[in-house]
Structures are given as structure tokens and as C-alpha cells.
Amino acid sequence: MSYIFNDKNELERFIIEKRKELEALLLSEASIDIEKLEEIKVVGGIHLVDNAYNLILMIVNNQEQDVINFAKKEGVAWAKTSLTLSFKLEWVKAIRKAFWSFLYEYEQAHNMKRITENSYEMVIKINKLIDEFFQGFFISYSDYKDELLEKERKLVENLSVPIIPISNNISILPLIGTIDTYRAGIIEEKVLVEIGKNHVEKLLLDLSGIAEMDKEAIHHFLKLLDGVSMMGCQTIITGLRPDIVREIVAFDVSFGDKVKTTGNLQQALELFSDKDNDERIFV
């Protein structure tokens, strides 16, 4: 262990006494003005200088686990704001530079001359703790962002498959936008689950809002119709566009008795109403 960590109480006192100087040096190294600092504090709730000061004290006291825990906490805090990783990288570099400058000042104030072996040991230890902080921060930041993306993806998936019950055993699925392979797979999965969960006997697929559907998506769509039929649910399709019909025909398949088609949504609803006079349909 190098002399800096052996004399950590004295070094800690030195840093505490000269905290204002350390903070000014940090801002100078990072080229951050007071207004920017206050903006980050108000908008993001992040106290840049205070946190850097606390990190330096943890490093001086060789509190490795505290550094790791602090990094995780900071990573989440930054992930909740619009602050970028590049800005954090510059800030960590500023902390490193300011810390080394302050150690040099400490040496000069105490007329210390480092022994080469101790010097290398000190450099390795300090850099290791700073690197561990940044690594822990980056992992925590990335994990939190990934969780947010996953939640948003699931929300989009649910919104992209809006299965709406219109009676006890009848549901409507209006689809809009582009249907690619990924979305088609999600639709296939969620529709079959919904049919089983709610005992849907009749499903109305409204495709009038679809802008585009690629060949792989059409393949998924045909598999969906097979699956719906196997679960004992009848499908009525409305709003098929000519270009999509041509693609389906190119697959050389026939809907057979599995599917009925109508020209528009009103015709489909009337078809349900005619066959299910005992059902109360809400439209």
C-alpha cells in the first residue's frame, strides 16, 4: 500500500480543508460554468461537484465497495436525465486530472518525495478505483436504459395489437400501419393467447388501415388464420387491399371455410349481427 493510503487521514483532512479549491479545479478541468452546474442540479437532480468530492474521498479511503455502489446509483440517476455518456466521460476525466493535481499539491505542501515502487502502486490503485467507478456507472446506466426500452417495446407491442371485445365472445382487431415480420409474429402470438383467454368464438380482422405488408408478414398472417381456426374461432376479414390480395394469391393458398371476407367493416358487423341475434353487440 502506498504512503498516500497509509496517510489517508492526513490526506483526507487536506482535501476537506481545500474543498473549495478542489471544486474550482474540477470545474476548470471540465470547462463547466456555474450556470451549467445549477441547470444539471435543478433539471436532473444531480450534484456534480458534491458527488465528485465524495467519490474522491472514497478513493482516498480505499472504499472499493462504496465506490461500486455509488457508481450504480449514479448510473441510474444519469439514465433518468438527458445527460449524455460523452459528458460523463469528460467529467470522469476531469475528476482524474483534478485528483492527480491535488495529490501533487499535497506532496509539495508536505515536502514528500515518492519512492518509485510506491508511486506505481499508488497510480495503479487510484486508477483502478476510478475505472471501477466508471465501469459500474456505465453498466448501471445501460441496464436502466435497456429496461426502459424493453418497457416501451412491450407498450408498443400491446398498442399494436388492439384486440377489442364487442360482445361476450366476439372481438375485433383493427390493424394499421406497416406489418413487418417482427410485428406479424407479435400479432400472431397475442391473438392466439387472447382467443384462448377470453374464449373468443368470432374474430373480426379489419385490415383497411394497413399501409404495407411484406411477404414474410403475409406468411405469418396465413399461419395466424390457421391457428385461429384450430382454436375453434371463426375469422371475418374486411378491408383487404388489392396488392395484399395479390401477394396472398401468390402463395397459392385458399382461405376455404376458415375465413369469411367482407368489403367493409359495417358489412362485417352486420354479418355478425344477423347470425347472433341473441348477442348484444356494442358498436
Give the pLDDT of residue 117: 54
Instruction: For the chain, give every residue range classified as CATH 3.30.750.24.
Output: 164-275
pLDDT band at 4 (very low <50, low <70, confident <90, very high): very low
Q: Are 74 and 65 in contact (CB under 8 A)?
A: no
pLDDT band at 114 (very low <50, low <70, confident <90, very high): low
Listed range (65-74, 193-202, 221-230, 238-247) with the worst mean pLDDT = 238-247
pLDDT at 13 over 90: no
How many CB atoms sit inside 10 A of residue 93's CB? Answer: 14
pLDDT at 179 over 90: no
Measuring CA to CA, which residue among 197, 87, 67 is closest to residue 136? 67
26-35, 148-157, 191-200: which is most confident: 191-200
CATH class of 3-157: mainly alpha
Instruction: For the chain, give every residue range classified as CATH 1.10.490.
Output: 3-157
CA dist., res. 272 & res. 267, Å (int) = 9
pLDDT band at 118 (very low <50, low <70, confident <90, very high): low
> Stretch 243-258: mean pLDDT, rounded?
78
Q: pLDDT digits over 16-57, tens only? A: 888 888 888 888 887 777 777 777 777 667 888 888 989 999
User: Residue 141 — φ and ψ, nearest 5°?
Assistant: -60, -50
CATH class of 164-275: alpha beta
Give the pLDDT of residue 281: 40
Q: Are 180 and 186 in contact (CB under 8 A)?
A: no
Q: What is the pLDDT of the chain when averaged over all its residues?
A: 81
pLDDT band at 211 (very low <50, low <70, confident <90, very high): confident
pLDDT at 123 over 50: yes
65-92 b/e (C-beta count within 10 Å ≥ 16 → b): ebbbebbbebbebbbeeebebeebeebb
How many CB atoms sit inside 10 A of residue 154's CB? Answer: 11
CA dist., res. 96 & res. 26, Å (int) = 9
pLDDT band at 5 (very low <50, low <70, confident <90, very high): very low
pLDDT band at 113 (very low <50, low <70, confident <90, very high): low
Q: Are 44 and 78 in contact (CB under 8 A)?
A: yes
pLDDT band at 280 (very low <50, low <70, confident <90, very high): very low
Instruction: Decide which of 84 and 97 is more confident.
Output: 97
Q: Which three cell numbers stand for residue 229?
A: 381456426
Contacts with 53 (C-beta within 8 Å, 6 or more apart), sequence order:
15, 19, 22, 23
